[in-house]
Amino acid sequence: MKKCTCILIFFMFSTTLSNEILQFSSVKNYNGNGAVKKVFFQKMVTLFNPTIFIETGTLTGNNTCNAIGFFEEIHTIELGMLLYQKASERFKNIENITVYHGDSSEVLKQILPKMHGKILFWLDAHFSGGTTAGEGRNPLIDEIRAIKMNRINNAIILIDDIRGWEMSKIRDAILTINPEYIFCIFGDIAMAFPPEDNVALSPILKAFTISRFYGSENSNISLEMVLEAEKVISKASAYEKNAINEIPFPESGYYNLWKGLILLNEQQFEKAINKFNLAINNEFSYFNYYSNWRAPYLHWRAHWYLAQALYGAGNNYDAKNFLDQVIAQAPFFTQAQELLLLL
């Protein structure tokens, strides 16, 4: 309870005490090579001023390549031997790039004591099929422990591919590094940074974080808070909406939920119905083949949003069925009862 309360306190005070606002934007070239965009690296450097970039999970080296020019030092770690060899060859003539082979958490333990400067971490070393190594294992928690062990408590930490994680596990691990860290959800990325960076979260980043944390272990987020947060998502600006729509992964319930909320607000009811059905049928889950990645919390509010879209599309029969389900699970929720009376 206490840790989640800390997050919400930061939400309330960060806007008034900070000079810079962290806005949601597209992070990766999802329609291209999947690498972090150079404009995103530029944003991170402008806001946080890191001088060292450390990446776990080199893969093809495209993230590493796009980081060139933004950092004094670049360090990238790859477990797969073939990928490591290709990256080593690719960057062999670039003086400030070092490529390492091995288990990322173990390599971090070796190299972090030698780092002198502010670090931006990009943690993405999980197995993802193909030529990647480490099937069935995600080293993320061990990587976070390595950062903690080396007492690096002022870094910016970015964690990719969070769509299947129980967020409280990541948050709790991060807060062992620095209990004052500001932790947020940035689309398919989790982000943590220290409050002394004087950066506040935009309303939609706060809303993403509340939406993802609601119902998770030790969460004290109320129903009223999550419904209000998801209203914020539904009213995303054109720029934010485009960034949300760039996130792929149709099997991921949360991103379909957020896209559906925007479509519902725009009265594109048929498209909203499709997104909400995808969210419900996938149970807000992904990566269930990892034993330590559990399906996130599925809540009746997804049925409530779907019922509204069905009503808007004129499908009163199915809208009634879903409203009945909502009322059965949440008889106190008067909005569903009021809509039912209109059918």
In the chain, the domains with their CATH numbers are 2-202 (3.40.50.150), 224-342 (1.25.40)
Rounded mean pLDDT, 171-186: 96
Other beta carbons less than 10 A from residue 23's beta carbon = 16
pLDDT digits (tens, 9 = 90+) for 282-330: 754 433 434 443 444 468 999 999 999 999 999 999 999 999 999 999 9
The structure tokens 């309303």 sit at: 203
The structure tokens 């149970």 sit at: 283
Is 40's pLDDT higher than 90? yes
Give me the chain's average pLDDT, please: 87
C-alpha dihedral sign at 324, 251, 226, 269: negative
Q: Which residues contact 276 (CB under 8 A, 6 or more apart)?
A: 256, 257, 260, 302, 305, 306, 309
Q: CB of 102 within 8 A of CB of 77?
A: yes
The structure tokens 């109320």 sit at: 222
Predicted local confidence at residue 287, as pLDDT: 39
**Hey, which of 81-85, 126-130, 284-288 has the most confident mean pLDDT?**
81-85
What letter represents residue 112's amino acid?
L
Predicted local confidence at residue 290, as pLDDT: 41
DSSP helix/strand/coil, 289: coil
Separation between Cα atoms, residue 102 and residue 107, nearest integer Å = 6
Separation between Cα atoms, residue 9 and residue 181, nearest integer Å = 12
Is 223's pLDDT higher than 50? yes
Rounded mean pLDDT, 133-152: 84
Q: CB of 145 within 8 A of CB of 105?
A: yes
Predicted confidence band of residue 249 (pLDDT cuts 50, 70, 90): confident
Rounded mean pLDDT, 28-45: 92
DSSP conformational letter for 36: B
